[in-house]
Structure 1
Amino acid sequence: MSLDVSDTAGTGDDVDGAESGPARSSRLAPFIALGVAVVMIGLIVLLIGAEPDDGTVAESPLIGRPAPEATGTLDDGRFFDLSRRKGSFVVLNFFRSDCVPCIQEHPDLIEFVEQQRQLGSDGAEFYSVVNGDTPERVERFFAERGGDWPIIYSEADEFSVAFGVAAVPETWIIDPDGIVRERFVSKVTAEFLSITLQQYREAFANR
């Protein structure tokens, strides 16, 4: 006597009524895709909303060595030669007018420059170095957001090339002997810069 299997064969169901693997997978696929999409959207939102750490220190072969030869033209047309700025601390801030972190840190730079001016001859010299921007846009940036300090332009961004700057903002500290001391590759605050400079100022005085 033969066994009649017509009731279970080819139905796509197990003998106990459960769905087979392919059928179950096809029904779960939309939910899996939705879950992955939700996770990806969450990650994107986090990345967009995240702000870079203030004052992130970065390595450079220039640290502890004489600053590279770098020249440019100031916004008032005068020639600028970094090697002639020995005798005081120099702070270089590489920026571009449409750079979001540059915009975010600008109020702090205004505060920092004012703090240094109040120190008189002990205050650091501060310069903005233009990277990949035009004088027209930079002038509009400062007209709208304030700030009154020298701005350095250079042909083909040669000043930035000398320091190996590819992305902005970057802020560098050079001591009165012309030695590169710090490189920060994220936005900075007035408090952070002032404290860092004061530490170097005290160390320099106690040599």
Structure 2
Amino acid sequence: MKNCKKIMALLCAMIFCLSCTYCLAEEEAAATPDFYETGLKVVSVMNEMVQSRDYLEIFMSASANLDTLETTFNTGDYDKPVAVYSLKQADPMGWLKMMMSESEQEKFNALSPALQEQLLARASGITALSNIINGQKGVDILSLTSALQAIMNMPELEIEEPVYYLFLFEKGVPVLVTLSWHHATGMFLVLSEAEAESQETIQALLQPLGIEMSPVDIPAQ
């Protein structure tokens, strides 16, 4: 009888431990944001933007070439990405200083830490560098990508460091999604067919800008 009680007590303890482990695992899973699904929500809003000419005309002048909207962005292919990459700029400060002349570096070093931080945020960073790439495609593309930028409040996002995801589509323009504390933004990254051909060609484009990329698994549907 005593042995039976000991066995029962042991079984109860094991069940309790397993239950606690399961609960902790559920809590951990719930606390971990699904960056892929969050990114798709941003892409969905941008897809709605490109389908609304009225939306763009509110922000852009009548002289803007809105025909580019139809030929470049409104492809109807933003539901399922063919590839997703996580981007990271390993040394933003190093890259920024590399782009400066010697005299500019001296001026930068003389700035207060607060102003250095502001300059670093504006001139460096993956989102800022995307403007450089879009700017190389012309004024129309640069103005359209700015107008089509999605900015979303997401209280569920509680991450200390920004997360960058690049979504590629078969026909749609690639989308760069930036996730940060309580916010998410999306910007089209206009690449030529040659630039977006493979991970290697995209890496060749981004590497000189100090950006590293790694593939993200796309959940099966």
TM-score (norm 2): 0.29
* Bigger radius of gyration: 1
